[in-house]
Amino acid sequence: MKKLINNPTAVVEEMLEGYVAAYSRYVRQLPQNPRSIVSVNTVRPGKVGVICGGGSGHEPSFLGLIGKGMMDGVPVGNIFASPPPDPILEVTKAVDAGAGVLYLYGNYAGDCMNFDMAAELAGMEGIRVETVRITDDVASAPKSEEERRRGIAGDFLVFKVAGAAADLNYNLDEVVRAASKANQMTKTMGVALSPCHIPQTGRPSFELGADEMEIGLGIHGEPGVQRGKIKPADEVADDLLDRIFADMPLSKGDRVVVLVNGLGSTTYMELFIMFRRTAQVLADKGIEIHRSYVGEYVTSLEMGGCSISLMKVDDELARLIDHPADCPMFVQMS
Amino acid sequence: MKKLINNPTAVVEEMLEGYVAAYSRYVRQLPQNPRSIVSVNTVRPGKVGVICGGGSGHEPSFLGLIGKGMMDGVPVGNIFASPPPDPILEVTKAVDAGAGVLYLYGNYAGDCMNFDMAAELAGMEGIRVETVRITDDVASAPKSEEERRRGIAGDFLVFKVAGAAADLNYNLDEVVRAASKANQMTKTMGVALSPCHIPQTGRPSFELGADEMEIGLGIHGEPGVQRGKIKPADEVADDLLDRIFADMPLSKGDRVVVLVNGLGSTTYMELFIMFRRTAQVLADKGIEIHRSYVGEYVTSLEMGGCSISLMKVDDELARLIDHPADCPMFVQMS
């Protein structure tokens, strides 16, 4: 494991220093806690505050998505570990503008515990907090136990919808409704090719043979649903899409937003080759692509592989996806 | 080498199909040649056409940078190989709107030959073409032979300036002047940690020991200036910056644009740690950062490592850097 780092135990602090120095037009660290990052220009009276968070190592998520039309703040955890309640509460207080605050995060036990604790503490201080847990990873539990599923790249699409809704002055109940709909309509299937290495341990996040891939392997190395020899990209895309269609039936005339997300070391060339097949399959089924995102949105350090997410959109979700956004690591004109 | 591809000899074609399918709001392939990619909305009467190009494998450069305030078209080469004259000429004719066309590319023999040939053919058809070759790589030749230097990540900053100048209706001579100034004021030093693998051959682009790094190694595996054991990030950043300062002296009060560019598999965490040290060193010298870019702009497939580019800016370059841009793989509000 070769990495451009200094002290393996200080990588998150040093990343945050660099991030805030690079993008001080957008973000600042709260004086009481460098792990509490908030927007410098999105909090305004009457706007619902929207927070997302989780462990570090998933950049551009979560801290790169703070800005107009997206997140108001992010409490930052250690690598692949939830932030504790303190920074969550601090960010909550900093972004509350009287209209309440929404917590958005992938559905992992540590995040659930810490964000719930912060929500309770915020409530005691008179701040109304609601939560939408993201559960887009089809591989992580059967349909009958959907509420147990993890959140992976689909996080980004739910953040996009919720951030736009808040920017359009939806009230808290309405932002929760839009974010929940976005989560219900978003399904993701991933494929892993190679592990990442945690700076502190230097160990790979999982082991995979030199000619193997694993379908559904999680972004922290959680076991997937099928391991086998690597196949041509079109076959991999077909497999991922078949599993999504089995979970969320789509019909001719439906509209979807497509996200092909790279996990870290997979090239843009491969992501576009995966997108190409996705677009072919959707065209064959008469499903319209409303908008496409191809790139790195939710990474797992330098893990190899990618995921395909489909969000089935109605007019409201389409409008919220199209709303402009201006963040350090994600900008969209309209 | 594990990659999500189908046919190794068709990776560029399949990438382009996926790319154009994902971003048809921005780009299209010319009917006569799928390797000729042009903007759908930036060409307008009287605007100078701006083209950049080179080999594939450097995404988001070059094809991801077609759009408002940036490039009008890109002729696409094979992996790490210049496009031939045909697509260059086709793109030239498609983006010429009567005000002439500027060619921008990194200074490599193959690109020089092919773009020069296309320029000559375009001239015979009555289109005025000018060329600015980008030479930001400090490691690639001594100061006394600056015109021999290669173009690497600094390409992006020169593209940004030229694209903005054309969008602001500078005439061709003025766009050439601005782009040349941007090139003269931009210096880059890179560090390589691990090679990439060309899909057709499966072979690594260079060999480097498990604990080694190489300063100045080029984005196609060209030899660098110093190989040694990997060092802490701050020492690596200091080394890169010292070599830039030796080449382009900067004084207290000077303003720079900073680009920390990832080569493919290096994490955003590492890039921000490298940026952190860069910002510290610049602050110590009293040099002001006008704007920062941290991310992947000019990659080399899944190569490991990064580069630091500094562009010394006057008021004109600062204004051109700040001009909005809207491309598939690069968007900037202002």
Residue A58 annotated in active site: yes
Query: pLDDT below 50 — which residues of chain B?
Result: none
Instruction: State how far the Cα of B23 lies from the Cα of B295, in Å rounded to an integer.
Output: 21
Mean pLDDT to the nearest integer, A296-302: 98
CA-based nearest residue to B95, from B139, B44, B55 = B44
Give, rounded to a whole angstrom, the gap between the first and last alpha carbons of chain A: 40
Pairwise CA distance, residues A311 & B36, whole Å: 32
Q: Is A334 on the interface with B (CB under 8 A)?
A: no
Cβ-based neighbour number of residue A41 at 10 Å: 13
Cβ distance A233 to B268 less than 8 Å, yes or no, reads no
What is the rounded CA–CA span in Å between residue B206 and residue B194? Answer: 8
Would you state the structure tokens that stand for residue B50, as one six-digit string? 């701006």
Check if B194 contacts A (Cβ < 8 Å).
yes
What's the token pair of residue B321?
């850097």
The DSSP letter of residue A296 is: -
What number is the average pLDDT over the span A83-102? 98
| Rounded Cα–Cα distance for residues B312 and B308 (Å) | 13
- How many other β-carbons are positioned within 10 Å of the β-carbon of residue A231? 15
Tokens of B219: 């984005």
∠ CA A282-A288-A291, nearest 5°, is 105
Closest Cβ opposite residue B333 in set A211, A264, A331: A331
Quick check: B130 contacting A, CB < 8 Å?
Answer: no
Taking an 8 Å cut-off on Cβ atoms, the answer to whether A333 and B329 are in contact is no
Q: Mean pLDDT, chain A, as a whole number?
A: 97
- Token pair of B257, please? 């644009």
Q: What is the pLDDT of residue A1?
A: 79
Question: Least CB-CB distance to B273: which of A6, A233, A272?
Answer: A6
Query: Touching check for A111 and chain B: CB below 8 Å?
Result: no
Both structure tokens of A260:
């092909």
Tell me which DSSP letter residue A128 carries: -
**How large is the average pLDDT for residues A138-167?**
98
In single-letter form, the type of residue at position A185 comes to: M
The answer to whether the Cα torsion of B283, B287, B290, B292 is positive or negative is: negative
- Portion of chain A with pLDDT greater than 70, in percent: 100
Minimal Cα distance from A231: which residue of B? B4
β-bridge partners, A39 = A27
Tokens linked to A228: 């086998």
Tokens matching residue A58: 């998933």
Residue B4 forms contact with A (CB below 8 Å) = yes
Q: Which residues contact A111 (CB under 8 A, 6 or more apart)?
A: A53, A54, A82, A105
Q: Which residue has the tokens 């690598």?
A: A79
**Closest by Cα among B156, B132, B152, B158 to B140:** B152
CATH architecture of B8-185: 3-Layer(aba) Sandwich (3.40)
Q: Looking at this predicted complex, what is its ipTM?
A: 0.98
- Quick check: helix, strand or coil at residue B150? coil
The predicted pLDDT at position A235 comes to 98
Chain A: closest CA distance from residue B126 (Å)? 36
Chain A residues closer than 8 Å to B296 by CB: 296
Note whether A8-185 and A186-324 share their fold.
Answer: no
Hey, which residues 279-318 in chain A have their CB within 8 Å of chain B?
A: 279, 292, 294-296, 299, 301-302, 304-306
Are A268 and B333 inside 8 Å of each other by CB?
A: no
Question: Which of A193, A196, A268 lies at the smallest CB-CB distance from B59?
Answer: A268
Cβ neighbourhood burial of A33 (10 Å; 0-12, 13-18, 19+): middle
- Judge whether B150 and B218 are in contact, CB under 8 Å: yes
Q: How far is B124 from chain A (nearest CA, A)?
A: 35
Query: What is the nearest CA distance from B201 to chain A, expressed in angstroms?
Result: 16
- Buried-exposed string A263-300: b where 16+ CB fall within 10 A, e elsewhere: bbbbbbbbbbbbbbbbbbbbeeeebebbbbbbbbbbbb
Task: Establish how many alpha carbons lie within 13 A of residue B60's alpha carbon, considering only the half-sphere containing its beta carbon.
Answer: 23
**Nearest chain A Cα distance for residue B49, angstroms:** 22
Closest in B11, B193, B301 to A2, CB measured = B193
Query: Residue A154 and residue A309: Cα distance in Å, rounded?
Result: 6
CB contact under 8 A, A265 and B269: no
pLDDT in tens, A266-291: 999 999 999 999 999 999 999 999 99
Contacts of B306 in chain A (CB under 8 A): 4
Peptide bond into B142 cis (omega under 30): no
Domain ranges of chain B: 8-185, 186-324
Counting one residue from chain A and one from chain B, the pairs whose CB atoms sit within 8 A come to 188
From CA A90, how far away is CA A128, in angstroms rounded? 14
**How many other C-beta atoms lie within 10 A of the C-beta of residue B128?**
16
Return the half-sphere exposure (C-beta side, CA atoms, 13 A cut-off) of residue B24. Answer: 8
Q: Is B202 left (phi over 0), alpha (psi -120 to 50) or beta?
A: left
Contact with chain A for residue B60, Cβ under 8 A: yes
A59 SS3 class: coil
Predicted local distance difference test score (pLDDT) of residue B1: 79
Question: Domain A186-324 adopts which CATH fold?
Answer: Hypothetical Protein Tm841; Chain: A;domain 3 (3.30.1180)
- Among the partner residues B18, B64, B332, nearest to A279 by beta-carbon distance: B18
**pLDDT tens digits for A224-268?**
999 999 999 999 999 999 999 999 999 999 999 999 999 999 999
CA dist list (Å): A41 to A327, A333, B65: 11, 17, 28
Cβ contact, residue pair A14, B57, below 8 Å: no
Residue B322 sits at the vertex; the CA angle it makes with B317 and B327, to the nearest 5 degrees, is 115
Segment 208-227 of chain B within 8 Å of chain A by CB: 210-211, 213
- Residue of chain B whose alpha carbon sits nearest to that of A276: B18
Q: Which of A18, A267, A276 sits opposite B21 (nearest CB)?
A: A276
Residue B323 is predicted with a pLDDT of 98
Q: Could A59 and B269 be called an inter-chain contact, meaning their C-beta atoms sit closer than 8 Å?
A: yes
Q: Do B2 and A333 touch (CB under 8 A)?
A: no
Whether the Cβ atoms of residue B5 and residue A233 lie closer than 8 Å to each other: yes
